[in-house]
C-alpha cells in the first residue's frame, strides 16, 4: 500500500502522484455504495502494481478543506485573478472571493491582470485599493507591465511545498498567466465577450500541475459569484480586519451594524477600514438575510 495525492480526475480514473511518479487508479467499488467521491487534491492510500496498470484507491485521508466550485481538496493557497478592465475591476467580486477563501482557511493572494490596457491614473486608483488588502494580510501582485520576469518569479516563489489554485472572474486571464509561468502548459484561452462584459469559460476540469516544487491548478472562472460557505452569523469573521479591530467593541458579539461603541464602525469613519469593505459587508448581510433555506423533498 502506498500514499499519494490525486492530481487529476477524468472519466472515472484518478491519477495519483506519489514520490514523483504518477499512478492511474480507480476508486474501490464500495466508495460508491458509501457515497464517497475522491476529489482532486485528496491524499489517499492506494495500491498499484506499476505506473502502467490501473490500481485502486483504498482510503481517502482526512481533508483540511474542500472547495465547492470546483470540488478540489487540501488547498494551501488561492490566487484570485482580478482584471483591471474587460471585465471591469470589481471590489465587490474580490471581497466575495476573499470571504470564501477565509472560510476554507486558505492563504489568499491577489493578482491584477491587464494593467497594460489602462491609464496611469486608473492604475494608481486600483493600486491604492489593493494596498489596503496588502495591509490586512493578503499578498498582492499588481505589475504595471504585464508578465515581467520579476513578477513571474515572485508568484512562482509562493509555489514550493504548497497546493495552489488560480481562481477568479471568467476572462480575467487565469490560463494566460499560467501559460506565462510555464509556456509548455499551453492552456486554452478564449476571447472576451464584449457585449456581456465577461469571458467565455475555457477551463473544463480541475487538474493539479507540478510547478516549482508545488502543485498548481487552474479552475473554471465565475461570471458571477454568490456567497459560498458563509452564513449571516459567520460573515463577520471572514473579514480579517473586522476580527482584529472588533476586539475593541463594547459587545463581544458585535455585528458592527446598529450596536453602540462599535470599534469597527469607528474605524470606518476614521479611514482605518476602507469604506467599500464595510459597504460590501452590509450588502452581503442583506443578501444572506434574504436567503431562504432549501429543503430536500422527502422520498
pLDDT in tens, 257-295: 999 999 999 999 999 999 999 999 999 999 998 865 444
Pair (188, 246) in one structural domain: no
176 is in an annotated binding site: yes
Pair (94, 182) in one structural domain: yes
296 falls within a domain: no
290 is in an annotated binding site: no
User: What is the average pLDDT score of the chain?
Assistant: 86
Domain boundary among 178, 193, 218: 218
Q: Give how many domains the chain has, as a whole number.
A: 3
Q: What is the pLDDT of residue 298?
A: 44
170 is in an annotated binding site: yes
3 is in an annotated binding site: no
Global pTM?
A: 0.84
**Lowest-confidence pick of 59-68, 88-97, 137-146, 178-187:** 178-187
Pair (168, 280) in one structural domain: no
Pair (58, 77) in one structural domain: no
256 is in an annotated binding site: yes
299 falls within a domain: no
Domain ranges, residue 10: 2-62
Q: Which of 174, 222, 1, 31 is nearest to 9 (CA)?
A: 31
178 falls within a domain: yes
173 is in an annotated binding site: yes
209 falls within a domain: yes
Q: pLDDT band for position 155 (50/70/90)?
A: very high
Pair (242, 121) in one structural domain: no
Pair (171, 259) in one structural domain: no
Pair (79, 212) in one structural domain: yes
114 is in an annotated binding site: yes
172 is in an annotated binding site: yes
Rounded Cα distance, 261 and 89, in Å? 34
113 is in an annotated binding site: yes
Pair (128, 200) in one structural domain: yes
250 is in an annotated binding site: no
Residues 203-250 have pLDDT tens digits of 456 688 889 999 998 766 655 566 778 899 999 999 999 999 999 999
Residue 244: give its domain's CATH number: 1.10.40.50
Pair (78, 213) in one structural domain: yes
Check if the beta carbon of residue 131 is closer than 8 Å to that of residue 139.
Answer: no
76 is in an annotated binding site: no
Q: How far is CA 253 from the centre of its chain?
A: 28
Amino acid at each position: 500500500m502506498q500514499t499519494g495525492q490525486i492530481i487529476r480526475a477524468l472519466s472515472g480514473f484518478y491519477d495519483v502522484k506519489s514520490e514523483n511518479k504518477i499512478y492511474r487508479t480507480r476508486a474501490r467499488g464500495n466508495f460508491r455504495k458509501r457515497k464517497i467521491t475522491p476529489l482532486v487534491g485528496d491524499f489517499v492510500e492506494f495500491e498499484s502494481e506499476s505506473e502502467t496498470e490501473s490500481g485502486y484507491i483504498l482510503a481517502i485521508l482526512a481533508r483540511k478543506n474542500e472547495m465547492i466550485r470546483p470540488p478540489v481538496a487540501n488547498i494551501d493557497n488561492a490566487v484570485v485573478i482580478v482584471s483591471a478592465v474587460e471585465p471591469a475591476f470589481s471590489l465587490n467580486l474580490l471581497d466575495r472571493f476573499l470571504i470564501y477563501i477565509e472560510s476554507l482557511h486558505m492563504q489568499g493572494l491577489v493578482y491584477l491582470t491587464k494593467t497594460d490596457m489602462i491609464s496611469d491614473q486608473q492604475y494608481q486608483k486600483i493600486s491604492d485599493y489593493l494596498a489596503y488588502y496588502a495591509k490586512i494580510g493578503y499578498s498582492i501582485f499588481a505589475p504595471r507591465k504585464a508578465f515581467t520576469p520579476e513578477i513571474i518569479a515572485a508568484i512562482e516563489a509562493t509555489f514550493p511545498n504548497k497546493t495552489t489554485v488560480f481562481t477568479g472572474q471568467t476572462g480575467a486571464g487565469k490560463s494566460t498567466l499560467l501559460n506565462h509561468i510555464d509556456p509548455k502548459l499551453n492552456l486554452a484561452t478564449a476571447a472576451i465577450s464584449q457585449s456581456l462584459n465577461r469571458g467565455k469559460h475555457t477551463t473544463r476540469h480541475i487538474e493539479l500541475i507540478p510547478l516549482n516544487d508545488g502543485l498548481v491548478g487552474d479552475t473554471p472562472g465565475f461570471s458571477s459569484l454568490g456567497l459560498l460557505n458563509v452564513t449571516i452569523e459567520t460573515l463577520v469573521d471572514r473579514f480579517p480586519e473586522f476580527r482584529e479591530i472588533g476586539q475593541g467593541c463594547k459587545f463581544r458579539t458585535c455585528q458592527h451594524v446598529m450596536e453602540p461603541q462599535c470599534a469597527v464602525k469607528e474605524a470606518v469613519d476614521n479611514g482605518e477600514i476602507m469604506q467599500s469593505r464595510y459597504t460590501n459587508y452590509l450588502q452581503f448581510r442583506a443578501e444572506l438575510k434574504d436567503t431562504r433555506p432549501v429543503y430536500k423533498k422527502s422520498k
